[in-house]
Structure formats: C-alpha cells, structure tokens
Amino acid sequence: MRRLCRRFNPRSVRVDPTEARILVQDLRREGLQMIEEYTFSSPTNRKDMAAAMLSAFRERTILLYRDETLINELHRLEFIDKLFHHEIRADRNARSHCDTAISLAIALVPAIEFLRFGNFAPPSRMSLPTTPGSFMPSAGSDFRHGVYLTRANASPWN
C-alpha cells in the first residue's frame, strides 16, 4: 500500500478499519494522510455503496477488468430494498467474503460523486500503468480515482 500510494499519489485511499486499524495508524504516522477509514458495516456506507454500484451499472458508466473473481463476486452481491434506499450485502462463503466486489463498491462512491458533481480536484500527479496486458480504457472513457468510468453502452458482463 505504501508503494502504491507513493507511485500513484491518490487523493484518498479508503480502508475498512475493522481488520486494519493498526495499519491505518502506521500509514498516517508515515505521512500518508490520504488514508481514510471507511467502515463497510456502517449503514450509511452500505447505502452509499449500493447507490453507487446500482448507478454505475444501471447507467452503464463502468468498464470492468476481465477478472473472474470480481465477476463471480459481483454476481453474489445482494441489494436489499429498504423502502427509500438500498443496502449492499455480501454473500459470504467458505472461499470468499466478496472482498474484491466490495472494494469496487467502496471506490465507486467517490467516483460516481465526481462524475455527477465534480466536487473534488483530480490528483496533482497521476501515472497510469502502461505494462503490456494492463487494462486501458476504450475510446470515450475516463479514468477517475482508480475506477474507469465511461458513457459507453457496453455491458460489464461481455
């Protein structure tokens, strides 16, 4: 995480402190102030993650890496109707807690907010991966805060 923060200089990195409280404290002590605590179990956060995830897929504003784990976990997410909003719930099994899909949901919250409102500045320095085989967005897409967003009408399941 240290190396990635120094290389990409992200505006923020969200970490669920449930299992990583000491890591968060250590990273902040080292000067990595972009680390934010973001508790998955918080009802407000679960509502925000569900809204961002549903918005990204309903509006077809997301392109995904071709990652079998991510796709399988996305299929296992549940969106619980809570009358005026939805909450996200991860279907846990012996092999997975849907960590990859939940990480995507956490990243989508500020990315969707940026797409809609543009309420925070892009990072001052950003380097995109250019190694062979690394994912690069298609024409008409845009990279914002670690999530590729696009206005294209391509299904994420193709």
Q: 84-136 pLDDT, tens per residue? A: 888 888 877 767 788 889 989 998 998 888 877 765 544 433 333 333 333 33
Q: What is the pLDDT of residues 1-21, one digit of tens each?
A: 888 888 888 888 888 888 788
Asked if the structure places residue 99 within a domain, the reply is yes
Whole-structure pTM value: 0.68
Segment among 49-63, 71-85, 99-113, 136-150 with least mean pLDDT: 136-150
Question: For the chain, what is the domain count?
Answer: 2
Question: 14-21 long-range contacts, Cβ below 8 Å, gap at least 24?
Answer: 14/38, 14/106, 14/107, 16/40, 16/106
**Cα-to-chain-centroid distance, residue 107:** 2
Asked if the structure places residue 132 within a domain, the reply is no
Asked if the structure places residue 129 within a domain, the reply is no
Asked if the structure places residue 74 within a domain, the reply is yes
Asked if the structure places residue 26 within a domain, the reply is yes
